[in-house]
Amino acid sequence: MRLNLTVNGEQRETDGVWEGESLLYVLRERLGLPGSKNACEQGECGSCSVYLDGILVCSCLVLAGQAEGSEVVTVEAVSGDSGLHPVQEAFVEAGAVQCGFCTPGFVVATHDLLRRNPEPSEAEVREALAGNLCRCTGYEKILDAVRRAAARGEDAPR
């Protein structure tokens, strides 16, 4: 089937999509956007987090056809022309990245949290990131990065 959707502000079309394919697969394998990671394909790890019409979702749980005509924003668009987004900078500075596989998902989920709640409490941060797994860092540095990003208070541009 043919799929039309807007990805990171650009109108994209792709042909030959299998009906059972996930949005994650389309992004990575058909549209050349490997930022969103495929780790579990069952909604458990959050590495595939993207915005679908402005809502944070696991792209592995969205059937590609469901994204027809919708607007998808991936981690590739979080950083602007002027370089890294404050959330990304905070991850780098805090040393919240080891193998980096979970990082794109954490960046998008943190971005979503801070736009909803610019000054989250510790409990709110943990709750907001409960759907993102990291096998390397032990989370302390990630929490540290979120605190840094929040302290910076820069309003996250979409």
Partner 1 sequence: MVELNFARVRPEAVMDLTRVPELREWGTENGRLRVGAGITYTRVIRELGDRLPGLAMASRTVGSPQIRNRGTVGGNLGTASPAGDALPPLYVSDAEVELASVEGTRRVPVAEFVKAPKRTATNPEELISAFLVPEAGGPQQYAKIGPRNAMVIAVCSLGLAVHPERKEVCACIGSAGPTPIRACEAEDFIRGVIEEEGLWESRGELAEAALGRFGELVSEAARPISDVRGTAAYRTHAVGVLARRTLGWAWNEYRGGI
Ligand X SMILES: Cc1cc2nc3c(=O)[nH]c(=O)nc-3n(C[C@H](O)[C@H](O)[C@H](O)COP(=O)(O)OP(=O)(O)OC[C@H]3O[C@@H](n4cnc5c(N)ncnc54)[C@H](O)[C@@H]3O)c2cc1C
The site for ligand X (CB under 6 A) is made up of 42-44
Residue 48 or 78: which CB sits closer to ligand X? Answer: 48
Q: How far is the CB of 52 from partner 1 (least distance, A)?
A: 8
End-to-end CA, the chain = 30
127: contact with ligand FES by CB under 6 A: no
3-state secondary structure of 22: strand
Q: How far is the CB of 110 from partner 1 (least distance, A)?
A: 11
Query: How far apart are the C-alpha atoms of 148 and 152, rounded to whole Å?
Result: 6
Binding residue for ligand FES (CB under 6 A) from 1, 63, 92, 99?
A: 99
**Are 102 and 145 within 8 A, CB to CB?**
no
> Which of the choices partner 1, ligand X, ligand FES, none does residue 19 contact, using the CB cut-off of 5 to 8 A by kind?
partner 1
> Which of the choices ligand X, partner 1, ligand FES, none does residue 39 contact, using the CB cut-off of 5 to 8 A by kind?
ligand FES
> Which of the choices ligand FES, partner 1, ligand X, none does residue 78 contact, using the CB cut-off of 5 to 8 A by kind?
none
List Cβ neighbours of 137 (8 Å cut-off, separation of 6 or more): 96, 97, 98
Q: ∠ at Cα 12 (89, 108), nearest 5°?
A: 25
Beta bridge partner(s), residue 62: none
3-state secondary structure of 111: helix
> Which of the choices ligand X, ligand FES, partner 1, none does residue 128 contact, using the CB cut-off of 5 to 8 A by kind?
partner 1
Residue 53 or 155: which CB sits closer to partner 1? Answer: 53
The footprint of ligand FES (CB under 6 A) covers 38-41, 43-48, 58, 60, 97-102, 134-137
